[in-house]
Amino acid sequence: MNRHNAYINGQKGSFSRESGDLSISPHRFRPQSQPALRRRRQLLVRLGLAAGCSLLLALLFFPSFRTTLMTTASLGLLAPAVAGPELPLETVREYDLSNSDGTARGWEREERVLMCAPLRDAETHLPMFFGHLHNFTYPHRLIDLAFLVSDSKDNTLNLLNQLLTELQNDTDPKQPYGEISVIEKDFGQKVNQDVESRHGFAAQASRRKLMAQARNWLLSAALRPTHSWVYWRDVDVETAPFTILEDLMRHNKDVIVPNVWRPLPDWLGGEQPYDLNSWQESETALALADTLDEDAVIVEGYAEYATWRPHLAYLRDPYGDPDMEMEIDGVGGVSILAKASVFRAGVHFPAFSFEKHAETEGFGKMAKRMGFSVVGLHHYTVWHLYEPSVDDIRHMEEMEQERKNREDEERERAERMKKIKDEFNDPGSEWEKDKNSIEGISQQEDQIRKEHDAAMAGKEAKDQEPTDKPAKEKSDETANKETKEAKEGTDTKKTDGKDGKDTKEAAVPKDTGEVKEDKASKDAEGLKRLDEDTTSKDVQDTKVVKENTASKDTKGVEAIKEESEDKGIKSTKEAKEDTASEDSKATKEIFKDKNIKGSKEVKDDTDSKDTKAEDKNTKDPKVVKEKEA
Amino acid sequence: MFAMTLPRSLRRTSPITLVLAGLLAIGFLVFIVSPSSNSDTVSTAKRKITNAASHPLSPPTAPFVKQDTSVEARNRPPPVVHYHLNNVTTTADPITNEETVLILTPLARFYQGYWNNLLALSYPHHLIALGFIIPKTREGNAATLALQAAIASTQTGPEAKRFASIIIMRQDFDPPLQSQDEAERHKKENQKTRRAAMSRARNSLLFTTIGPSTSWVLWLDADIVETPPTLIQDMASHDKPVIVPNCLQRFTNGEGKADTRPYDYNSWQDSQQAADMAANMAPDDIILEGYNDMATYRTLMAMTADKSDGRNTKAIIPLDGVGGTALLVKAEVHRDGAMFPPFAFYHLMETEGFAKMARRLGWGCWGLPNYFVYHYNE
């Protein structure tokens, strides 16, 4: 071995020319290879930089590029990221239908209820319906709502959407409902929805078949295996108990309906049975059904088909037991609570003539046919909205016209009365003259009487003094109110009561209420005179009368009577003056019969309710004569 | 010599060339990347998400996004969902129009052949929802377990084979279905109660699953083990409200050769004799097909089958009664209310009564005498 040519590691010290048959030999090209390698590396770095820059730019300018890049990148590396959005998908659902059979106390067992409401041009009723929704006491989260909006020309859909969104976003956690489905489907119905065409006989069969179709579509789209109950509710129910779901559920029947009435204006009787589709089958109807053609539909409430069926609606007693049940065969659709198992078994709203019935009536028939219980609660009432029919509107117009006529008449009569009154006001001024003249006479008589009084004045004066003042006040009062007999009574009592001990004894037992305390006066006339005198505010007169009464001097009585009559006339006139301004009614009365009234006034003036006295005055021709004079 | 030229050429290239090359490379990258945004994986994922409901309270024919389990999320009220039933179409070309099909099966026994046949259907599986109703009996429990196992493997398997949604329902039949043995099942006296129970099961299944988006309903019995893979498209292409293929059974004949025999006698055209018979019956009596003591002289579709190879599978006849072994129904027929009467409806029950009810609602029923599906042979 040539040691000089050997390296430590045993390699040959030098390459032999023979073995190096490669043209590129390392020792020969080594100095040149380094810059080439560097250049290649620099190229790669430059390429990488350029790619990075452009990628950055692309990412900056095209945001969509980022997601594209991410999916491409994750395609190989992050396989789960692709499946990521799929992972939380649940595709298998399992249900046990025996868990959703429906029991009497569904709210405790958390049974779900599907509430179905078919809608067509129902914009006006929606706010009312949502008012009801807010008030249901059944746990809202257990109620799923399903609406079918079909062939609506108004704003039903938008309004419904808005109200539903509000309902679901309610801050009260008890308000939002469960699943909410709004199903839009047009059946291309030509049938008009206004009251007249809706209830016209000819339109009934086809209309009800179309309604049935709508109901079936709604139910098939919305019924889930989790539902235990299905509640059908019309949106135009005006009033219903908030607890209606629980109330109906408690009966634990397969199909149950309440009674449906509607309020009416007073002129139509205040209320009326509305839903005539809940009935019991009758022999007549069955016989009728046999005579009809296969596609005919018997509809209730029309003279064309006299079925003589007992209707749920007509059996209502407002004070009856609301839990009373009645087996029925046809049901009305305003408010139906049915177990979901009924619908699951296949009962639906026949959109064809099923045993000569369609829609809800056919539903009742079919449920019966399949052996389900169908009952109605005839004393449990919900109230349907009253929509006036064309006839009603016509009638209401007539009534309005009548009312106007009556008002006109009344106005005329009032005017006539006013005219009459005006005519009778003239005598008022005549009376004024009369009054003046009579006053002159009475003043003279007063003069005479004063003289007489002075002569008669005696010990009686002392007794009377304390009562004088009250008597005076009373007389003022009575002067104002004398024409009203009711007031007279009380006034008399007061006056008498305060008037004094002496009058108490002169009782007039006949006059029960008013003159009870007039016992003192033995001599009714005397008493009357006494009162007359009080009215005249002449203390002395009173004294005289008292004296007279005490002395029982009939002569004196007579004399005073005359005076009092004069006085009475005078006071009547005064009264008339008062009442002219205050009490027109009284005035009218006065006008009606001057004479009799006048005598009454006299009586009033005397402030005595003594009937005897009254009789006397009325009968007394003198009074009349004097007045006339 | 070549190795020498490469570095030399590189050495000669200017930086501008390099930049241009870089840009070209980027452009190439972009070109590669951008078409992938339309790739199938992405679109199916997107579609599945748009079809899925956001809340468990949703129509069962669509999958739903699993909710996060936080209390706040659970308490959030479900959204208001609009369903446009005007846009749910049923046309002769269901795949192009992306029409959803609901396959409904009353299940008493689970046959792997049935499931395999289902998986073999060429209709896009993401448009298919499956619904099963299984009695709550021992047999039913076994069937449920087998079905659940099959579902689990399918729904986690290749995406193209996964179904959009699967609904399993358990129900106590009233009266419970007795033995599913063929001999016992077909006894005449048992027929009425059996068919009433079957009707109720079918109706329960139908009305709780049909939902707002289903276009077609395919009734497929659990013992149908062989159909053409294009079953749905083929039947839908006739664009009939109710259409039924001919149901046969494969068996080994006396000579030891494979043969087929008619199985489903419920698809028929009515006869005068049957009408007269019905007229003299009590309201709750039913006419049954395939029993010697009740000769109806109806034209049975099963008997008119042309089994030759060159047969016209598109031949179509109107029917008065249909069988339910494989029955394609436009969803609107069911939505209008056509169901399987569990009572004597014009002296007919179940699928035959359904055909009658569909006709009362104005929908015609049709049969494909030369288009075969095969029943399991017990």
Using 50 as the pLDDT threshold, list the residues of chain B that sit under it.
1-4, 35-46, 49, 176-177
Q: Would you call B127 an interface residue with chain A, using a CB distance cutoff of 8 Å?
A: no
How far is B328 from chain A, CA to nearest CA, in Å? Answer: 18
DSSP label at residue A62: -
Quote the mean pLDDT of chain A.
Answer: 72
How far is A224 from chain B, CA to nearest CA, in Å? Answer: 5
In contact, B308 and B333? CB cutoff 8 Å = no
A344/B83 CB distance under 8 A: no
| Average pLDDT value for residue range A187-198 | 58
**Partner-chain residue, chosen from A184, A224, A345, that has the shortest CB–CB distance to B203:** A345
B169/A97 CB distance under 8 A: yes
How far is A214 from chain B, CA to nearest CA, in Å? Answer: 8
In contact, B100 and B61? CB cutoff 8 Å = yes
> Above 0.90 for ipTM, yes or no?
no
A219/B168 CB distance under 8 A: no
Facing residues of A259 across strands? A381
Cα-based angle A411, A416, A417 (whole degrees, multiple of 5):
95
Which residues numbered 280-319 in A keep a CB inside 8 Å of some CB on B? none
**Partner-chain residue, chosen from B10, B64, B199, that has the shortest CB–CB distance to A90:** B64
A56 vs A48, A51, A65, B28, CA distance in Å?
Answer: 12, 8, 11, 16
Which stretches of A185-335 are DSSP H helices? Answer: 195-199, 201-222, 244-249, 283-291
Q: What is the pLDDT of residue B29?
A: 77
Q: What is the pLDDT of residues A444-500, one digit of tens each?
A: 888 888 777 777 765 555 555 444 444 444 444 444 444 444 444 444 444 444 444
Which residues numbered 50-109 in B keep a CB inside 8 Å of some CB on A? 52, 55-60, 63-66, 75, 77-86
In contact, A407 and A343? CB cutoff 8 Å = no
Mutate to test the interface with A, among B6, B10, B26, B333 (most CBs of A within 10 A): B26
Q: In degrees to the nearest 10, what's the CA dihedral of A100, A106, A109, A110?
A: 80
How far is A98 from chain B, CA to nearest CA, in Å? Answer: 6
Contacts of A189 in chain B (CB under 8 A): none
Q: What is the pLDDT of residue B33?
A: 61
Q: What is the DSSP string of B215-256?
A: -EEEEE-TTEEE--TTHHHHHHTT--SEEEEEEEEEEE-TTS
Q: Would you call B24 an interface residue with chain A, using a CB distance cutoff of 8 Å?
A: no
Indicate the SS3 state at residue B373: strand
CB burial of A190-206 (b: ≥16 within 10 Å; e: otherwise) equals ebeeeeeeeeeeebbbe
How far is B167 from chain A, CA to nearest CA, in Å? Answer: 5
A184/B357 CB distance under 8 A: no
B65/A89 CB distance under 8 A: yes
Mutate to test the interface with A, among B336, B347, B357 (most CBs of A within 10 A): B336
B77/A40 CB distance under 8 A: no
pLDDT at A575 over 50: no
What residue type is B34 in one-letter code? Answer: S
B122 vs B97, B165, B313, B369, CA distance in Å?
Answer: 16, 17, 18, 22
Q: Which residue of B has its CA nearest to A218?
A: B335
Q: What is the pLDDT of residues A432-446, one digit of tens each?
A: 788 888 888 888 888
How far is B302 from chain A, CA to nearest CA, in Å? Answer: 28
Query: How many angstroms separate the CA atoms of B75 and B64, rounded?
Result: 17
Please state, for a pLDDT cut of 90, what percent of chain A lies above it: 24
Q: Would you call A225 an interface residue with chain B, using a CB distance cutoff of 8 Å?
A: yes
Q: What is the pLDDT of residues A76-128, one digit of tens each?
A: 444 433 344 445 678 889 999 888 888 888 899 999 999 999 988 888 899 99
Q: Which residue of B has its CA nearest to A48?
A: B22
**Partner-chain residue, chosen from B7, B63, B84, that has the shortest CB–CB distance to A91:** B63
Q: Would you call A110 an interface residue with chain B, using a CB distance cutoff of 8 Å?
A: no
Look at strands B299-300 and B216-220 and give their pairing. Answer: unpaired
* Confidence band of A505 (pLDDT split at 50, 70, 90): very low
Query: How many angstroms separate the CA atoms of B64 and B52, rounded?
Result: 5
Q: Which of A61-75, A390-404, A417-431 has the lowest mean pLDDT?
A: A61-75
B110 vs A595, B139, B205, CA distance in Å?
Answer: 115, 9, 17
Q: Would you call B165 an interface residue with chain A, using a CB distance cutoff of 8 Å?
A: yes
pLDDT at A579 over 50: no
A89/B48 CB distance under 8 A: yes
Query: How many angstroms separate the CA atoms of A74 and A534, rounded?
Result: 121
Q: Would you call B341 an interface residue with chain A, using a CB distance cutoff of 8 Å?
A: yes
Mutate to test the interface with A, among B49, B54, B82 (most CBs of A within 10 A): B82
Q: Name the pTM for this structure.
A: 0.66
Q: Would you call A41 an interface residue with chain B, using a CB distance cutoff of 8 Å?
A: no
Query: How many angstroms separate the CA atoms of B210 and B101, rounded?
Result: 10
Contacts of A161 in chain B (CB under 8 A): 80, 82
pLDDT at A177 over 50: yes
Indicate the SS3 state at residue A229: strand
A168/B171 CB distance under 8 A: no
Number of inter-chain CB pairs under 8 A, A vs B: 227
Cα torsion angle, A200, A203, A206, A211, sign? negative
Q: What is the DSSP string of A490-507?
A: HHHHHHHHHH-HHHHTS-
B166/A93 CB distance under 8 A: yes
B85/A348 CB distance under 8 A: no
B337/A216 CB distance under 8 A: yes
Q: What is the pLDDT of residue B183?
A: 61
**Partner-chain residue, chosen from A46, A68, A346, that has the shortest CB–CB distance to B339:** A346
pLDDT at A553 over 50: no
